[in-house]
Amino acid sequence: MTYQTLQTEILRNSYKRYSWHGELQQLSSSIAARDYLIVAGDFIARVGPSDQTIRKILGKFGQGHRCENGQRLVNYALMNHLVITNIIFQHKPSHLLTRHSNDGVTKAQIDFILERQRWRSSVQDSRSYNGADTGSQSGSDHRLVAAKILLRLAIRRKNKSKVGFDIETLEDPGE
């Protein structure tokens, strides 16, 4: 099944849409909260600009208006403590939009990179790039979305246990 066919099927069939989101939630729930998690892809969702209640996951540079799939993505991010990285940084509109249709008129922000809120400070930038080869032989109308991430990880060293002596069991040589 091709990407476009799958995309169209998911959009038209609400059961497949709910099923896909359920599988994504189940997979995300199976990953330990302490692990670094990145979820990236074409979510076929417009999340739009943020409001005060969800600014910590959306930022304020969302484009367009929120659609049904966008609300599902926002709910998924809230449930899993994720932030949508490519709309928390200010860029010119062409670096925020991720899809430009072949008709040259339709433009949207539907591809996203999400990561845990705990690691939000590790993302230094996130945006779309025009002209990057997206790997599609048929010529994709999507732009590459990338994030610059700097992880600062500390090595956890195990404490060496100290060898102790039980002084009660030692014999007194003077007796």
Domain boundaries, the chain: 34-132+140-153
Q: Which amino acid is at 37?
A: L
CATH class of 34-132+140-153: alpha beta
The mean per-residue pLDDT over the stretch 7-17 comes to 65
35 closest CA partner among 109, 138, 115, 142: 115
Helix (H) or strand (E) holding 39: strand 38-42
pLDDT for position 3: 43
pLDDT for position 55: 72
What is the distance of C-alpha 131 from the center of its chain? 23
pLDDT beyond 80 at 36: yes
The Cα–Cα gap between 107 and 55 comes to: 23
pLDDT beyond 50 at 1: no
0.75 cut: is pTM over it? Answer: no
The mean per-residue pLDDT over the stretch 102-130 comes to 79
pLDDT for position 137: 53
As to burial, measured by CB atoms within 10 angstroms (0-12 exposed, 13-18 middle, 19+ buried), residue 128 is buried
